[in-house]
Homo-oligomer: A and B are copies of this chain.
Amino acid sequence: VQKFFVTKLGEDWVFLILLGITMALVSWSMDYCSAKSLQAYKWIHAELRGNIALQYLVWVTYPMLLVLFASIFCHLVSPQAIGSGIPELKTIIRGVVLKEYLTLKAFIAKVIGLTAGLGSGMPVGKEGPFVHIASICAAVLSRFMSFFSGVYQSPYCYTDILTVGCAVGVGCCFGTPLGGVLFSIEVTSTYFAVRNYWRGYFAATFSAFIFRVLSVFNKDAVTITALFRTNFRMDFPFDLKELPAFAIIGISCGFLGAFFVYLNRQVILFMRRPNAMTRFLTRHRLIFPAAVTFVVASLTFPPGFGQFMAGEVCLSTCLCLLPSKVNFLFSNFMPRLLIFTYDSWVIVFVILILFFVMKFWMSAVSTTMPIPSGAFMPVFVLGAAFGRMVGEIMATLFPHGILFDGILYRIIPGGYAVIGAAAMTGAVTHTVSTAVICFELTGQISHILPMMVAVILANMVAQGLQPSLYDSIIQVKKLPYLPELGFGQYNIFVEDIMVKKVKFISSKSTCREVIHLLESTSLKTIPLVDSKGNIVSWFLFLIFFCINSKVISIYLLTLMHSLYWNER
């Protein structure tokens, strides 16, 4: 009986349900804490109304403290928790072993660091870190589950578990199980076992469900609906004549997305270039995040420059408001600007452009800070702002709507915002499933075809210009990188990419030659051939190539050498 019970507990669905519940709880409590922190931030700011100097001080120091705390905490507990985590997971799922990335320490550092980062109101996202958190959760849980079933010890199963972990991470981050599974697959895998679909859906749905039920119980929501619900007209969502505008959004978002990746990489590369300033920054590692937070917070200070770009509105609120109403962007100073101009739509554009440009570089810079931070959400907001801009232009060009079959249909700029968001995130991450995430987030699928068109166009442009944000980070961090083999690249021959001057060791090589070879190259494996100039043996020999152990390595080499030749 006991054995039966133990076996039952070791079954797959128990693991999936446990993973779902854990991640839903983690996700919900993180959301709760960061929301409370933001509330406190706003509250203090509001309470100090009247005293501009004090207000500014609080507005700047509050996020600085949180960001510095996150940075120090991550640095002390687990430096692996810094950044998005998706690039590292992509590398791990491809089979490379990265140490310390899937430990409980990294989990704690990431959860607490991310909560602090989100609570600071800086433009950092949570999708990437969530993928990392859920994967750690899955890895730790599988180690726990291996008490009950031996399955969880096999290395083959490990990849399956991480894949499901990623799916749950995206899924419970926004409560989007479908898009979560698809996005995580597109982002992390190259080849995918279809049986994991089912498992991913199961765990992600369960997790998203618990996540949403928790908010119903907490009276945040009336019932389970989409997170950022929109209410566009369903009967005639868009006209065919609007399609060129959607295509323009797609193509522009492709360029903008590629530029975002480029900008982000340049910031990271600049920080890594060895000169006096960066050496100084590396030694005092808190100065960089503090400076970034200071600049961003100063610029968003609501009574200052922030009034022109809705500085007091945090990311997720932006996401709620961009498709529905943009008035929030200029509610504060609309009357003041109306003095200068006659048309209200000029203001709309000025503000939207300002909002877009400022948030653009802020997001690109903020995501390089040494705290757990993702770029998905900020890019999503940027895309929504850009789409809204195009939508407002369309609404200005056709103020009376589009005539079709004798009926005038007004243009919905909100729909453009949703399409822009999907296209921009698609371009930055090189994925198509952002469209699915968009449907699930907004709860409306009426714009499916134009959105798919825009996302695909954005992908085409962005893939031609830049690697995806995650691949870019993999390259910058010098993690092992496997380039995607495109469709048209089957006719590349081995001859085209092979090394033609091969370094090798023969049974007649002298020690001097071996040492020379070790010093002249950074190779970790050197082929061993049976006689000079006649490469017939494919035996590869791994040597320790660091200088200190060179003597030992040559010794080992010689030993293995003789063993090998004796065996023949």
Cα separation A177 to B449 with both chains bound (whole Å)? 8
For A240, give its contact among B160, B192, B201, B224 (CB under 8 Å): B224
User: Which among B192, B445, B449, B485 is the interface contact of A205 at CB below 8 angstroms?
Assistant: B449
Give Cα A189 to B151, complex, Å.
Answer: 24
Asked if A197 is at the interface of the complex by the 8 Å CB criterion, the answer is yes
User: At the interface, yes or no: A432 with Cβ under 8 Å from chain B?
Assistant: yes
Q: Is A56 an interface residue (CB 8 A)?
A: no
Give chain B residues whose Cβ lies under 8 Å from the Cβ of A444. 234, 445
Q: Mark A227-244, 1 if CB is under 8 A from B, else 0.
A: 001010011111110000
Interface residue A2 (Cβ < 8 Å from any Cβ of B):
no
A405 in contact (CB, < 8 A): yes
Determine, out of A133-141, A379-387, A434-442, the stretch whose residues face the partner at the interface.
A434-442
Interface pair B436/A178, CB less than 8 Å apart? yes
CA distance A338 to B157 in the complex (A): 61
- Distance in Å from the Cβ of A526 to the closest Cβ of chain B? 32
Contacts A178-B436, A240-B224 given: A443-B443 contact, CB under 8 Å?
Answer: no
Q: Quick one: closest B residue to A448, CB to CB? A: B440
A356 to B456, CA, bound (A): 41
Assess the B488–A12 pair: CB atoms within 8 A: yes
Asked if A388 is at the interface (CB within 8 A of a chain B CB), the reply is no
A491 to B484, CA, bound (A): 33
Asked if A198 is at the interface (CB within 8 A of a chain B CB), the reply is yes
Is A465's beta carbon under 8 Å from chain B?
A: no
Does B488 contact A151, Cβ atoms closer than 8 Å? yes
Given contacts A151-B487, A157-B487, A238-B223, contact A194 B192 (CB under 8 A): yes
Contact A486 B236 (CB under 8 A): no
Copies of this chain:
2
Query: Does the CB pair B222–A404 fall under 8 Å?
Result: yes
- Tell me which of B12, B231, B443 contacts A487 (CB under 8 A): B12
Residues B404 and A226 in contact, CB atoms below 8 Å apart: no
Partner of A201, one of B178, B191, B432: B432
Candidates B154, B238, B443, B449; contact of A490 at CB < 8 Å? B154
Q: Is the Cβ of B436 less than 8 Å from the Cβ of A198?
A: no
Contact B190 A191 (CB under 8 A): no
Identify which of A76-84, A206-214, A318-326 touches chain B. A206-214
6 further contact pairs, Cβ within 8 A, besides A154-B491, A223-B240 = A178-B448, A199-B487, A201-B432, A201-B456, A223-B239, A445-B445
Closest 8 pairs between A and B when the two form their complex, measured CB to CB = A205-B452, A12-B487, A201-B432, A445-B445, A192-B192, A154-B490, A151-B490, A189-B194
Query: What are 22 A-B contacts defined by CB distance under 8 Å?
Result: A13-B460, A150-B491, A151-B491, A154-B490, A157-B490, A177-B448, A190-B195, A191-B192, A195-B485, A197-B433, A201-B432, A209-B449, A209-B453, A222-B405, A223-B237, A224-B238, A225-B234, A225-B446, A226-B446, A226-B448, A229-B234, A439-B439
Using CB atoms and an 8 Å cutoff, list the residues of chain A in contact with chain B. 10-13, 149-151, 154, 156-157, 160, 177-178, 182, 185-186, 189-195, 197-199, 201-202, 205, 208-209, 212-213, 216, 222-226, 229, 231, 234-240, 404-405, 432-433, 435-436, 439-440, 443-446, 448-449, 452-453, 456, 459-460, 484-488, 490-491
